[in-house]
Chains A and B, each alone.
Chain A
């Protein structure tokens, strides 16, 4: 068995470093930007035309939270080539697997994280906004200097949750022909007829990655909570 592990492990780690980790990192970074924009638009109280934009973003969050990620990957990778828009994309939208994966993962995690960030912003007491306004700050400045730094602290644990989920969900990318870690484990298992060992091994690798992320979360929580003194 050690022989099997010794030959498979380097290939799995290589696939993890080449695909799993970059896909997770890039998708989460883009997802966070989408999430912040979505959260800010959704908490805005502006009326008129802006209401339509709010509705669109609400629809986006609903769509990505209400459908399975696997199905979303299939639609973007296998389905969009059949979406023919005259003028814009007459031959359908054909994306390479990696792009399709990153787009889908970003939009999916962005939808979930936007709710986290929205809730974190709303959890900051109104008095903080009022104190900032009373100093003469604009809304943008109050948000940037006073509200978001506090909301960040609140949102670290749930955002870390989303990131850990995302790392594991990247295994679904195997279904759209990306040779990430899980796909490699399947390929090796098909050759050496050792599915139990191979899938346990790849599970272990995901667990190691997520454990490291949990430590990172602990560190981030500590850094962002410096101002919260124990006992209060």
Chain B
């Protein structure tokens, strides 16, 4: 179980997260929606401790951490092993081949044997339909391929949660589709996913739960059925209308 409670975070005096409380159930896909600058990326990055909120509690399984008191480096490493980030810009390691990108975490962090890590990496590459790219370098890949490698790299750590920060925002629709298919498959396998996205079609298909964030606060937190039927909430209605270009 992953949950944050009363999270507050400011950048240069601008409060990005305001007393934000939300939980992310295991084996479900949580989609975080919201306009740009609403704080959704900051929230996601806080889950991986790439951002440190000034205040708030962080619940991971049986453990509770308090951001106000700080989280030790030992605990930080432990949490990061269980939560893997997939970035909008992929952030693959350009000096390593695709295969080595995926093997790097298990070998260096989990202490896996090289042979075992390679078997796992090849399985994961096959899973994201890139078995033939094992020996390629990242800059030989298309954006869609690079992002699928990044997803495989995160899966190799066998984390409890995978956190995806606008994973398809840099991709054109065809490449986006390649990545979304992989994510949909992971969602159907009941992996615990938290995805920040602008893609409502994907949200409506894959999400178990939708969290809508605006101005650093949770405006909506419920099932996707409730979200898309949110007639009584004008802000959400407007957002859906804008995202689907209904009034163009």
Q: Mark A residues whose CB is within 8 Å of B.
A: 125, 127-128, 130-138, 141, 145-146, 149-150, 153, 226-229, 232
Contact = CB atoms under 8 A, between A and B. Distances in A.
Nearest to B45: A130
A153 B93 CA distance: 14
Q: Which interface class (under 10, 10 to 19, 20 to 34, 35 or more) fits B?
A: 20 to 34
Given A127-B87, A127-B89, A227-B137, A134 B48 contact: yes
Contact of B91 (A131, A138, A150): A131
- Per CB-CB distance, the 10 closest pairs between chain A and chain B, nearest first, are A131-B91, A135-B105, A134-B85, A127-B91, A136-B81, A136-B109, A136-B80, A227-B137, A232-B139, A149-B95
Given A134-B80, A150-B93, A228-B137, 15 more contacts: A127-B89, A130-B87, A130-B91, A133-B48, A134-B48, A135-B84, A135-B105, A135-B153, A136-B80, A137-B109, A141-B109, A146-B104, A150-B94, A150-B95, A227-B94
Contacts of B105: 135-137
B119 interface: no
Contacts of B154: 134
B157 interface: yes
B92 interface: yes
A135 B50 contact: no
Contacts of A228: 94, 137, 139
A135 B108 contact: yes
A134 B84 contact: yes
B139 A135 contact: no
A229 B91 contact: no
A135 B155 CA distance: 10
A232 B89 CA distance: 16
A145 B154 CA distance: 17
Contact of B50 (A128, A130, A136): A130
Contact of A135 (B97, B109, B140): B109
A138 B81 CA distance: 11
A136 B137 contact: no
Interface string B126-166: 00000000000111100000000000011001000000000
B108 A137 contact: yes
Given A145-B104, A227-B139, A131 B93 contact: yes
11 contacts: A127-B89, A127-B91, A130-B91, A131-B91, A133-B48, A133-B50, A135-B105, A146-B93, A149-B95, A150-B94, A232-B139
